[in-house]
């Protein structure tokens, strides 16, 4: 059973019908206290290596089922569930750094993850240095004797620049004074355990916003840290010290989401690409940022390292459309909700205004907007985009005429 394929892991992972009166799913074990029949049983449960549940914060059947399924899916040694994707990032970042360390962070990582480095880690005495997404093997010259962590994300949040993850990982480790002390962590929310095989590329830690495709229905916040055997115990110990955990109800829904993630993701991936291609052919659109498009600068790297693409990408509207016109475009969309997050069944649009960048600002031709493509009918989505682009164009024509 060691050769189970991802779809089988998603269907069978974490299930134990015999332990639950034959029920297919692990029921929600809502609770705090776990009772022991005797002092001897309590003492045995607290022995190192015991897999007994002792307290819900430390683990319960729902967290274990979810964690085991995600770890198996991605090929990590273990996984730690958290109450949000950001909590997964902050827990892993704090677990792996100490005062006096130097860390290298891709300029394109998720904004709040970056803010945690700048506002918390730096306050705790960690030196944070940002690197451009195209750093490649030149990362070697940025590694110092005290560099302990490289934190990457590909493609970049909102701006979708690819990073050569294997090249950066290998070069950073080769340049480290003690390769075992330098860990590489990737926010793999876009890649998902299905489309980017983190641990096959020498990466130590993979962090996911479970909130996105894993949950898949925009109704739960959840995060998960997956790590290799050398790193997982360290992060788990730290998570327990921090009191980081996720609620049993949310973990139940997270595991339910995973059951169908494969089909949702493959379907949304195709629809995302279809809409990206359609938008790329529009005169109102200057550029589409989607690494699965052959015209994208990151396409070769994406094609080599990824087996699929999330249904999340960005467009640059033509520079002739001002803020009022592009606001009109967003406001005219009927099926694309304006809101943060993504990975659910429904389409979304989100402005990429004022991205926090230190060394590699994206410099778009016009306003940059991020799209998430859901499971609506493709023709309906195209009709909606078409009418909203028309509204935008009409407003800008009217403005021209009034000048
Ligand atoms: C949404 C997101 C997160 C944070 O997840 P939350 O569950 O919203 O806290 C982290 N990384 C990436 C790439 C994300 O898109």
Contact 6, 29 (CB under 8 A): no
Please name which of 334, 335, 318 lies closest in space to residue 326, comparing C-alpha atoms.
318
- Catalytic site includes residue 212: yes
- Kindly indicate the confidence band of residue 2, based on its pLDDT and cuts at 50, 70 and 90: low
Q: What is the pLDDT of residues 88-135, one digit of tens each?
A: 999 999 999 999 999 999 999 999 999 999 999 999 999 999 999 999
Residue 292 and residue 309 in contact, taking contact as beta carbons nearer than 8 Å:
yes
d(CA 356, CA 97): 23
Catalytic residue among 30, 43, 46, 57: 57
Six-digit token string for 298 = 């990151």
Q: How confident is the model at residue 403 (pLDDT cuts 50, 70, 90)?
A: very low
Is 84 a pocket residue for ligand 1 (Cβ < 6 Å)? yes
C-alpha 313/C-alpha 24 separation (Å) is 36
Q: If phi over 0 gives left and psi between -120 and 50 gives alpha, with beta otherwise, what is residue 355?
A: beta
Contact yes or no for 70/79 (Cβ under 8 A) = yes
pLDDT at 353 over 80: yes
- Whether 51 has a pLDDT exceeding 50, the answer reads yes
Whether 195 shows a pLDDT value over 80: the answer reads yes
In 291-377, alpha helices (H): 299-305, 323-332
Higher-scoring residue by pLDDT: 138, 400: 138
Between CA 275 and CA 272 the distance in angstroms is 5
**Rounded to the nearest 5°, which phi and psi values hold at 106?**
-60, 135
CB of 151 shorter than 6 A to ligand 1? no
399 falls in which pLDDT band (50, 70, 90)? low
Q: How far is C-alpha 185 from the chain's CA centre?
A: 12
Q: Assess whether pLDDT exceeds 70 at residue 401.
A: no
Residue 151 is a catalytic residue: no
User: Which residues have CB under 8 Å from 362's CB, separation 6+?
Assistant: 159, 161, 352, 355, 368
> Which residues make Cβ contacts (< 8 Å) with residue 103, sequence separation at least 6?
97, 117, 121, 126, 127, 128, 129, 147, 148, 149, 150, 151
86 CA to centre of ligand 1 in angstroms: 6
- Catalytic (active site) residue 15: no
Mean confidence (pLDDT) of the chain: 96
pLDDT at 366: 96
Q: For the residues of 89-152, what is the DSSP string, one character each?
A: HHHHHHHT--TT-EEEEETTS-HHHHHHIIIIITTTT-EEEEE-TT-GGGGGGG--TTEEEEEE
Sequence-separated (6 or more) residues with CB below 8 Å from residue 123: none
- Residue 228: predicted pLDDT: 98
Q: What is the pLDDT at residue 324?
A: 97
pLDDT in tens, 12-50: 999 999 999 999 999 999 999 999 999 999 999 999 989
Please state the atom number of ligand 1 nearest to the C-alpha of residue 341.
1
* Contact call for residues 185 and 140 (beta carbons, < 8 A): no
* pLDDT at position 400: 55
85 in contact with ligand 1, CB cutoff 6 A: yes
79-98 b/e with 16+ CB inside 10 Å = b?
bbbbbbbbbbbbbbbbbbbe
Encode pLDDT of 273-330 as tens digits.
999 999 999 999 999 999 999 999 999 999 999 999 999 999 999 999 999 999 999 9
CA 225/CA 351 separation, integer angstroms: 28
Average pLDDT, integer, range 217-236: 98
Ligand 1 centre distance from Cα of residue 113 (Å): 8
Residue among 101, 187, 204, 296 flagged as catalytic: 187
Annotation marks residue 57 as catalytic: yes
> Residue 211: CB within 6 Å of ligand 1?
yes
């Amino acid at each position: 059973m060691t050769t189970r394929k991802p779809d089988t892991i998603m269907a069978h992972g974490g299930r134990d019908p015999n332990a639950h009166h034959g029920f297919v799913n692990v029921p929600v074990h809502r609770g705090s206290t776990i009772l022991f029949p005797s002092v001897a049983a309590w003492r045995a449960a607290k022995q190192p290596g015991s897999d007994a549940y002792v307290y819900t914060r430390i683990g319960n059947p729902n967290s274990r089922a979810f964690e085991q399924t995600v770890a198996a899916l991605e090929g990590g040694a273990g996984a730690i569930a958290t109450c949000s994707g950001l909590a997964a990032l902050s827990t892993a970042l704090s677990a792996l750094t100490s005062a006096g360390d130097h860390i290298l962070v891709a300029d394109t990582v998720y904004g709040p993850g970056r803010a945690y480095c700048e506002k918390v880690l730096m306050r705790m005495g960690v030196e944070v240095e940002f690197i451009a997404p195209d750093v490649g093997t030149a990362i070697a010259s940025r590694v110092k004797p005290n560099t302990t962590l490289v934190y990457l994300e590909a493609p970049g949040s909102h701006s979708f620049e690819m990073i050569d993850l294997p090249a950066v990982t290998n070069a950073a480790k080769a340049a480290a004074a003690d390769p075992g002390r330098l860990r590489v962590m990737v926010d793999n929310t876009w890649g998902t355990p299905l489309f980017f095989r983190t641990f096959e590329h020498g990466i130590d830690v993979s962090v996911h916003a479970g909130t996105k495709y894993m949950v898949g229905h925009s109704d739960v916040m959840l995060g998960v840290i997956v790590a290799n055997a050398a790193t997982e115990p360290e992060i788990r110990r730290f998570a327990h010290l921090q009191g980081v955990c996720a609620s049993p109800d949310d973990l139940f829904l997270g595991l339910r989401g995973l059951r169908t993630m494969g089909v949702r993701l493959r379907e949304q991936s195709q629809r995302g690409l279809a809409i990206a291609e359609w938008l790329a052919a529009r005169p109102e659109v200057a550029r589409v940022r989607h690494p699965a498009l052959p015209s994208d600068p990151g396409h070769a790297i994406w094609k080599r390292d990824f087996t699929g693409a999330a249904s999340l990408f960005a467009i640059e509207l033509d520079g002739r459309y001002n803020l009022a016109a592009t606001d009109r475009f967003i406001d005219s969309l009927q099926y694309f909700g304006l809101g943060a997050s993504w990975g659910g069944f429904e389409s979304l649009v989100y402005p990429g205004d004022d991205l926090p960048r230190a060394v590699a600002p994206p410099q778009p031709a016009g306003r940059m907007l991020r799209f998430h493509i859901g499971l609506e009918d493709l023709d309906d989505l195209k009709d909606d985009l078409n009418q909203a682009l028309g509204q935008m164009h009409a407003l800008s024509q009217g403005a021209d005429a009034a000048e």
